[in-house]
Amino acid sequence: MSASGKIVIALDGMGGDNAPAMVVAGADIARQRYPDATFLLFGDEARLRPMVDKTRWLKTACEIVAAADVVTNDDKPSAALRKRRSSSMGMAIDAVAEGKADCVVSAGNTGALLATATVGLRMLPGVRRPALCSFLPTVRGETAMLDLGANMQCDANNLVEFAVMGSVFAKSVLGIDAPTVGLLNVGAEEGKGNETLRDAAAMLRVEDSPVAFHGFVEGNDIGAGVVDVVVTDGFTGNVALKTIEGTAKLYTGFVRQAFKTSTLAKVGYVLASSAWKKLGQRADPRRYNGGVFLGLNGVCVKSHGGTDALGFANALGVAVDLVKYHFSDKVVEELNRLRQALGEVPAAAAGGVAGAG
Amino acid sequence: MSASGKIVIALDGMGGDNAPAMVVAGADIARQRYPDATFLLFGDEARLRPMVDKTRWLKTACEIVAAADVVTNDDKPSAALRKRRSSSMGMAIDAVAEGKADCVVSAGNTGALLATATVGLRMLPGVRRPALCSFLPTVRGETAMLDLGANMQCDANNLVEFAVMGSVFAKSVLGIDAPTVGLLNVGAEEGKGNETLRDAAAMLRVEDSPVAFHGFVEGNDIGAGVVDVVVTDGFTGNVALKTIEGTAKLYTGFVRQAFKTSTLAKVGYVLASSAWKKLGQRADPRRYNGGVFLGLNGVCVKSHGGTDALGFANALGVAVDLVKYHFSDKVVEELNRLRQALGEVPAAAAGGVAGAG
């Protein structure tokens, strides 16, 4: 982000089931919402140019950069890495690595994006593993959850770093001042779960921690919104996320079926149509369409592959929030504070507490 | 179960938030449903006697056995084990161990019940670890899931044994002839997840396996009813189960709120009251109130601690189904068939295929 507040967003023009039309239309919505944003759009120039020319807001704020290759949904991460220098995804990531853009957004292949972004952007200083983070609707509002699938196994240090990153994410994207963070476990009591979880909890309970650690939370606490950030390993997080999706679908189906069981119920269904609409908006998956790979040295947002222009615009909004909040700097700063609190680094390393003047 | 089809059920009269009244009332409902069942009711005789005397069906089919101690919800498993010979829970389990009863049902402390039942009943031959199993509503009907929290870490052999036990459970309790079994993972593709899952899948794919193995399933496949049995470790299963509960509560709340947003919607809500009732019945947690510890040498059913008489009666129904289906014998038999298919035991061990005549 330049001093003037301008943000440059690198876009994978060819990623996503409905690309490139969805990408262009989504960027158009985002440009209207964020007039300070400009776009580097990577992909098939012959297809992109006429689409961009037809947009209302985007056309004056978008530079198209030709990319010869496309990463497909079937590409293995290794295949995506091989065409890193020529694909729309890889070139968009490199634009961030080279300082030409502030963030990259792609609706393409998740595994390919994670691998390419990890190689292209590298890790933030002090972070060992990237984590996929998103936010979900709860009774109280919204809760961020990570890791949603980047790491099948995590040690205590990984979980602690995720806690710091999730906390800064909630501050930047959800606008929460001192987000509470919970570790997902099978019970709230201290002795529950496994050693990794207990070790991570002990580290997060340290005095002067920058993380407002709540303790252990259980699966039902996610939807109840007991904490602002839920931290877990990528296996459990992926299962929990998809279980939430499946259960939401099941119960929505139950409600629909129930309203077909009698004529009165059908009339009630029609009378309540505004209520259905409100419900649909509240639980609209497009509102929750911004998975972010946290921990990389650069902002990288993964939009859902099947999303539409509105969903893609929301993912762009997440990227803008992270850039404006200086997400990466804040994570490095808070991790450093935590390591000081844990006695792992001397206080001076944080920027001259003693004898700096 | 005697040759005449009579079933003797041992009841922990003092376990559960609403015990003993709920236990007695639940057994009364069960006795009406299963006239072949008789009951051994363990607990405080002075409190139980007048309650049983007032029942309609139970009073002629129930023997009260005095137990001096009660396992409380705060008791650690070690404390429960110490009073095993004198507590209503421990004595009910011992009745099964001694062959005086066919099964035991308790709404008491889960950890205490698992520990006491494992010590009192021991493991089924060929089973290494017990698993907590229950069934859940899905789009297609019902799906069994295990382990829901008995084992925080599982190896491939544990998961394979859970698959066999879950399959037999679905046959006996859900009445499904050849239940399909899925291993919970982060993706359906063969290479997904961790080594434990891939090893377990390889074993379950063996030719002549008694398990109809579907492959890997994801979190959203649970509610979609993609398989009849979902197998996972106790950590993931517990998180998934509670996540389902939390999400169901969240979406039910969303629907209720949505119907309060306008007068028309409120009228619609009232008109649709029969629909709400049907929905409530379908998703009624009391219908899904039968967690079972599978793998023990004896049927042990854990009812939800906060359940009412109807929920407790349903848990008794699960116990009756398992006894009538000869659950334990079938598990030993199918495990043996699987081990033969895997070449771990010779075919003769299953009961004389070659040269037996």
Mark yes or no for CB contact A251/B283 under 8 Å.
Answer: yes
> How high is the pLDDT of residue A180?
98
> Does the structure show a pLDDT above 80 at A285?
no
Residue B306 lies in a domain: yes
A201, two tokens: 């909890």
**pLDDT tier at B106 (50, 70, 90 boundaries)?**
very high
Chain A residues whose CB is inside 8 A of the B243 CB are 219-220, 222-223, 240, 243-244, 247
Number of domains in chain A: 2
> How high is the pLDDT of residue A356?
35
Query: Same domain for B209 and B305?
Result: no
Place of tokens 């844990």: A342
Tens of pLDDT along A92-118? 999 999 999 999 999 999 999 999 999
Mark yes or no for CB contact B194/A245 under 8 Å.
Answer: no
Q: Provide the domain limits for residue A304.
A: 1-127+295-347
Q: The domain spanning residue B258 has which CATH number? A: 3.40.718.10
Query: Same domain for A121 and A139?
Result: no
Mark yes or no for CB contact A283/B254 under 8 Å.
Answer: yes
Helix (H, G, I), strand (E, B) or coil at A44: coil
Tens of pLDDT along B205-254? 999 999 999 999 999 999 999 999 999 999 999 999 999 999 988 888 88
* Interface residue of A183, A195, A251 to substitute, partner B, most B CBs within 10 Å: A251
What is the average pLDDT value for chain A, to the nearest integer? Answer: 91
Chain A residues whose CB is inside 8 A of the B262 CB are 274-275
Query: Same domain for B33 and B66?
Result: yes
How far is the C-alpha of B70 from the C-alpha of A333, rounded, in Å? 53
Q: What is the mean pLDDT of residues B293-312?
A: 94
Chain B residues whose CB is inside 8 A of the A240 CB are 219, 239-240, 243
Residue A281 lies in a domain: no
**pLDDT tier at A353 (50, 70, 90 boundaries)?**
very low
How far is the C-alpha of A200 from the C-alpha of B297, rounded, in Å? 38
Tens of pLDDT along A147-173? 999 999 999 999 999 999 999 999 999
Q: Is A186 exposed, middle or buried (0-12, 13-18, 19+ CB in 10 A)?
A: buried
- The distance of B211 to chain A (nearest Cα, Å) reads 23
- The distance of B67 to chain A (nearest Cα, Å) reads 30
- The distance of A144 to chain B (nearest Cα, Å) reads 15
Query: Same domain for B133 and B255?
Result: yes
Apex A87 CA angle, A81 and A88, nearest 5 = 125
> How high is the pLDDT of residue B261?
73
Q: What is the ipTM of this complex?
A: 0.89
Q: What is the mean pLDDT of residues A76-89?
A: 96
Nearest to A279 by CA among A307, A305, A259: A259
Residue A79 lies in a domain: yes
How far is the C-alpha of A304 from the C-alpha of A111, rounded, in Å? 13
Most confident of A197-211, A267-281, B339-353: A197-211
Chain B residues whose CB is inside 8 A of the A247 CB are 222-223, 243-244, 247-248, 251
Residue A259 lies in a domain: no
Amino acid in the structure at residue B146? L
Mark yes or no for CB contact A242/B265 under 8 Å.
Answer: no
Long-range contacts of B97-101 (CB under 8 A, 24+ apart): B97/B121, B97/B298, B100/B8, B100/B10, B100/B40, B101/B8, B101/B9, B101/B10, B101/B40
Mark yes or no for CB contact B261/A269 under 8 Å.
Answer: no
> What is the separation of C-alpha B115 from the centre of its chain, rounded to a whole number of angstroms?
16
- DSSP string of A226-264, one letter each residue: -SSEEE--HHHHHHHHHHHHHHHHHHHHHHHHHTTSSHH
Query: Same domain for A218 and A160?
Result: yes
Nearest to B240 among A240, A272, A275 (CB): A240
Beta bridge partners of A296: A123
> How high is the pLDDT of residue B72?
95
> How high is the pLDDT of residue A289?
64
Query: Same domain for B95 and B145?
Result: no
What is the average pLDDT value for chain B, to the nearest integer? Answer: 91
Query: Same domain for A153 and A244?
Result: yes
Query: Same domain for B97 and B157?
Result: no
Residue B157 lies in a domain: yes
Tens of pLDDT along B79-94? 999 999 999 999 999 9
> How high is the pLDDT of residue B285?
63
Residue A356 has a CB neighbour count (10 Å cut-off) of 7
> How high is the pLDDT of residue B256?
78
Query: Same domain for B96 and B148?
Result: no
Long-range contacts of A342-345 (CB under 8 A, 24+ apart): A342/A203, A342/A206
CA distances from residue A234 to A130, A152, A273, B97, B183 in whole angstroms, order as listed? 10, 5, 38, 42, 17
Residue B90 lies in a domain: yes
